[in-house]
Amino acid sequence: MHQISRRDRSQLQWPKQPIIYEINTWVWLNELSQREGKFLTLDTISDQEWDAISALGVDAVWLMGVWERSPVGIRVAMSNVDLQTEFRRTLPDLTPEDIVGSPYCVRRYVVDQHLGGKEGLAIARQKLAQRGLRLILDYVPNHVAPDHPWVLEHPEYFITGNLADLQQSPNDYYQVNGNIIALGKDPYFAPWPDVVQLNAFNQELRQAVIENLKEIASQCDGMRVDMAMLFINRIFQRTWGEKAGTYPRQEFWQEIITAVREKYSQLLLIAEVYWDMEWELQQLGFDFCYNKLLYDRVAQESPESVHLHLLADISYQEKLVRFIENHDEPRAASIFSYQKHQAAAVTLATLPGAKLFHEGQFEGRKIKLPVFLGRRPLEEINRELQTFYHKLLKIINRPGIRNSQWRLCERRGWYDNSNYINLVAWSLWNQPFTSQGETGGECRYLIVVNLSNYASQGLVWIPGNELRGNQWRLTDLLNEVLYDRREGNDIFYKGLYVGLEPWNFHCFEFTKISE
């Protein structure tokens, strides 16, 4: 088996604010195979493909959906009328072979042989490490496939019912080998028909999960944990009541993460989390949590709601995952206009925290693919959007941006101007702030975005004393426009005047040109 060399492992220290690239592994390999005219697995991908990913400027690749798919889950999907309707709407020329099963209906935490097996993943990880890239894999705590070995070997790991439960709610339970096991669910929706529910309160399950996660951790550098908030003790009890059994003394994630990190201290853990529970999951040991609230505010709410969201403590914000697209959300190009798409991308990319991009996002794909499918429809590449994203990634990879201190900026209007509230702005400094909120360094970057359908103007106040007494050249890196000789005293005392058309933005680099 290929092993990652000590030299390669030394490259895998996680940056403070990683840039993550999600790939639908099955679909990606299918398309590479079609292009090359031969069947490819993770170990036979060409170096040119890995080089192309590395050239994007990302820090990690999330290979979504590598674990063994469930034949039972596939049968459920093929018999579900609603799913079949969705599949055919997405892929009009659908064939039975296209339905490969949900990657979140895991039969075993073993790399699917169709993708190259454990050996193939190890080689892919080595290829990534040689390019300084880290590997992220999935973990699904809440449920497993009905044909997972635990269903027969350890029925005590699951939420179980009785014959009366099955007769009263036949769509909520699964009967196997004389046991009646609840289907997986969260408290707000009907059960998922293709998975069975694990019991977070069962201590034997917790020990099994620890060993399972250690095995996964030996094969990757980080994990994205699916619907992590469902295993918070109070949430789990609210969902399952007395069927869950005795309320544990310790939170599930606190116990699990502590045990796994005794062996894998550098393992990065990302929680998919909703319901305003991000801070709570951070306290339990997760390095980063999904920032769905920001996504919703950028997509649907006012610019001021975005500004207010960004007033949160920086230590909290630095542990959020910013995104405008992933496999669970609609494609950004399908719900945003072209200009709004760019404005949203600039916003997420320049905020503190991890940044998540989805394969196909840069190319402007519009069709959201159901995770059950192994093939997606052809779509034309938006070359203009692709060029924009490549430029944006190069900018956010500048040391002066990646290693800077982020700070939200205030905006102001004047007596007959209230549309300044449509602007959001933040600065990036190359020196840390003092306890007085000042800095010994110079203001290097300023991002201003108009998150509205209206032309808007305002004065942006940039914190820090170094603006005073100097003249500055402002270079808009994204729009490639130069603004020469701006008086630092005017900017410091009055604010920087900004006027932006709908969904336009500035990414200013400040350069001192005189004392």
State residue 401's pLDDT score.
Answer: 87
The beta strand positions in 32-190, using DSSP E, are 60-64, 67-69, 106-111, 134-139, 143-144, 173-176, 179-182
Q: Output the domain CATH number for residue 353.
A: 3.20.20.80
Report whether 439 contacts 432 (CB < 8 A): yes
Q: Which of these three, 372, 397, 422, is where a domain ends?
A: 397
Residue 437 has pLDDT above 80, yes or no: no
Q: Which whole number is the average pLDDT over 182-208? A: 95
Distance from chain centroid for Cα 154: 33
- The span from the CA of 318 to the CA of 316, in Å, is 6
Looking at the fold, whether 20 and 92 belong to one and the same domain comes out as yes
Looking at the fold, whether 349 and 391 belong to one and the same domain comes out as yes
Residue 440 has pLDDT above 50, yes or no: no
Q: At 488, is the pLDDT very low, low, confident or very high (cuts 50, 70, 90)?
A: confident
Report whether 476 contacts 508 (CB < 8 A): yes
What is the tens place of the pLDDT at every residue in 475-487? 999 998 888 767 8
| Cβ contacts of 76-84, under 8 Å, gap ≥ 24 | 76/193, 76/194, 77/101, 77/102, 77/194, 77/372, 80/193, 83/370, 83/372
State residue 5's pLDDT score.
Answer: 45
Residue 443 has pLDDT above 60, yes or no: no
State residue 85's pLDDT score.
Answer: 95
Which string of b and e fits 15-32 if b means at least 16 CB within 10 Å?
Answer: eebbbbbbbbbbbbbbeb
HSE of 381, CA atoms in CB hemisphere, 13 A: 10
- The span from the CA of 368 to the CA of 89, in Å, is 11
State residue 514's pLDDT score.
Answer: 65
Per-residue tokens: 67: 């674990």
State residue 472's pLDDT score.
Answer: 86
Looking at the fold, whether 345 and 441 belong to one and the same domain comes out as no
Per-residue tokens: 408: 């939200």
Tally the residues of the chain.
515
* CA-wise closest residue to 420 among 457, 451, 452: 457
Lowest mean pLDDT among 23-37, 40-54, 247-261, 441-455: 441-455
What is the tens place of the pLDDT at every residue in 106-133? 999 999 999 999 999 999 999 999 999 9
Looking at the fold, whether 13 and 72 belong to one and the same domain comes out as yes
Residue 8 has pLDDT above 70, yes or no: no
Q: At 444, is the pLDDT very low, low, confident or very high (cuts 50, 70, 90)?
A: confident
State residue 467's pLDDT score.
Answer: 79
What is the tens place of the pLDDT at every residue in 154-172? 999 999 999 999 999 999 9
- The span from the CA of 319 to the CA of 285, in Å, is 11
Domain membership flag for residue 295: yes
- The span from the CA of 312 to the CA of 463, in Å, is 17
Average pLDDT over the chain, rounded to an integer = 92
State residue 81's pLDDT score.
Answer: 92
For residue 478, give its domain range: 404-514
State residue 289's pLDDT score.
Answer: 98
Domain membership flag for residue 265: no
Structural domains of the chain, count: 2
Q: Which of these three, 397, 431, 463, is where a domain ends?
A: 397
Looking at the fold, whether 344 and 449 belong to one and the same domain comes out as no
Residue 2 has pLDDT above 60, yes or no: no
Domain membership flag for residue 201: no
Looking at the fold, whether 118 and 10 belong to one and the same domain comes out as yes
Lowest mean pLDDT among 251-265, 387-401, 420-434: 420-434
Q: Output the domain CATH number for residue 497.
A: 2.60.40.1180
State residue 496's pLDDT score.
Answer: 92
Q: Which of the two residues, 434 and 392, has the higher pLDDT score? A: 392
Q: Which of these three, 339, 370, 397, is where a domain ends?
A: 397
pTM: 0.94
